[in-house]
């Protein structure tokens, strides 16, 4: 190789590294201050913390097909107000172990394992999407374990329409359960499709159409791993949208009028593929009168990513109140 060719190759490598470094950065994003793992019934969960290790802990729970690092902008903003924000990757997500079982109950047990490991005392909790519904359900059962609850577009809707209720019942028929188990068996040796970080970001955009390409590239660097044939999302390939029950939204919403701890409920207004499709107005009849409701106009399901400063400001004010 000539000196010129070597120089061109070096320049090309430097440009590639610079491009990858740019993807690993995002305005306002900050990596966790601490990362470690805990055991939950034989499943190791990756835990990420922002803030002073001696500060009051706040549990932060992500939604389906997400992971803790999707809070890299929102979490540090809350932590800088004097809190120790503790997020974790749910089983099969991010850097946590894959598992033989994925269910609502297993996820809630994992969440409690993290809460117990973090603090023996009751603590506030924040949940986005599925994470919010998991927390709402768990707090209703164990109100002594939590002091306050922030739902980031994280409350399901008990639809009054018969066709919606019918869909929920059908989701747990023998036929549906068999279909899910057959899929789980076929996926034992499956692998997610590889690609460049750009390609992974473009795939994710189908589910998160309101989030910027720069943000999607950023989270791909943390939610995907680099193999010899390219990047691929870390999420267990056996998982698919819809999950595996049992779960009924009315198990949560029917008990909301007597919710046992103070609640801040934040709602987006634009429907998205990964959203709960519920508005503040629709859920209002079930919310306690003490609930603080905040509606983000012209905002989708990931309001803490679209408007992290506003979401964090509301959260901090609520935690301090």
Per-residue model confidence as pLDDT tens digits over 103-149? 889 999 999 999 999 999 999 999 999 999 999 999 999 999 999 99
Token digits of residue 261 = 């701890």
Token digits of residue 246 = 């049992």
- Please say whether the beta carbons of 35 and 85 come within 8 A: no
What whole-number distance in Å separates Cα of residue 248 and Cα of residue 104? Answer: 10
Q: Enumerate helices (H) and strands (E) in the chain, giving the number of each.
A: 12, 10
- Please give the DSSP secondary-structure letter assigned to residue 260: S
**Of 3-17, 30-44, 71-85, 195-209, where does mean pLDDT reach its minimum?**
3-17
Token digits of residue 254 = 């029917």
Percent of the chain's residues with pLDDT above 90: 70
- Please say whether the beta carbons of 126 and 60 come within 8 A: yes
pLDDT of 176 over the 80 cut: no
- Please say whether the beta carbons of 244 and 103 come within 8 A: yes
The pLDDT value recorded for residue 220 is 95
The pLDDT value recorded for residue 232 is 94
The pLDDT value recorded for residue 187 is 74
What whole-number distance in Å separates Cα of residue 93 and Cα of residue 145? Answer: 25
Per-residue model confidence as pLDDT tens digits over 271-280? 998 887 789 9
Of 160 and 230, the one with more pLDDT: 230
What whole-number distance in Å separates Cα of residue 67 and Cα of residue 291? Answer: 27
Of 205 and 171, the one with more pLDDT: 205
CATH class of the domain at 20-155+162-320: alpha beta
The pLDDT value recorded for residue 7 is 56
pLDDT of 230 over the 60 cut: yes
What whole-number distance in Å separates Cα of residue 146 and Cα of residue 22? Answer: 39
Q: Which residues contact 10 (CB under 8 A, 6 or more apart)?
A: none
Domain ranges across the chain: 20-155+162-320
């Amino acid at each position: 190789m000539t000196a010129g060719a070597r120089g061109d190759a070096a320049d090309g490598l430097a440009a590639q590294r610079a491009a990858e470094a740019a993807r690993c950065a995002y305005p306002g994003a900050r990596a966790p201050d601490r990362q470690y793992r805990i055991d939950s019934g034989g499943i190791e969960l990756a835990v990420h913390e922002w803030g002073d290790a001696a500060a009051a802990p706040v549990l932060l729970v992500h939604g389906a097909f997400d992971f803790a690092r999707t809070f890299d902008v929102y979490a540090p903003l809350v932590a800088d107000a004097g809190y120790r924000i503790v997020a974790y990757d749910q089983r099969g997500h991010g850097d946590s172990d894959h598992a033989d079982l994925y269910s609502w109950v297993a996820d809630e047990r994992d969440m409690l394992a993290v809460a117990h490991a973090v603090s023996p005392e009751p603590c506030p909790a924040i949940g986005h999407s599925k994470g919010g519904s998991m927390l709402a359900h768990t707090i209703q059962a164990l109100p002594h374990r939590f002091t306050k609850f922030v739902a980031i577009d994280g409350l399901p809707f008990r639809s009054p329409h018969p066709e919606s209720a019918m869909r929920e019942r059908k989701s747990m028929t023998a036929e549906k359960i068999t279909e899910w188990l057959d899929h789980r068996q076929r996926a034992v040796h499956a692998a997610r499709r590889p690609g460049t970080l750009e390609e992974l970001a473009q795939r994710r955009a189908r589910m998160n159409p309101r989030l910027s390409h720069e943000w999607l590239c950023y989270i791909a660097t943390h939610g995907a791993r680099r193999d010899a044939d390219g990047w691929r999302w870390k999420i267990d390939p056996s998982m698919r949208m819809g999950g595996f029950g049992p779960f009924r939204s009315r198990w949560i919403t029917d008990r909301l009028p007597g919710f046992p701890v103070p609640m801040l409920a934040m709602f987006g207004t634009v429907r998205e593929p990964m959203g709960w499709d519920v508005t503040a107005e629709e859920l209002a009849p079930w919310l306690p009168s003490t609930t603080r409701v905040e509606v983000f106009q012209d905002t989708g399901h990931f309001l803490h990513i679209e408007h992290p400063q506003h979401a964090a400001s509301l959260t901090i004010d609520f935690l301090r109140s």
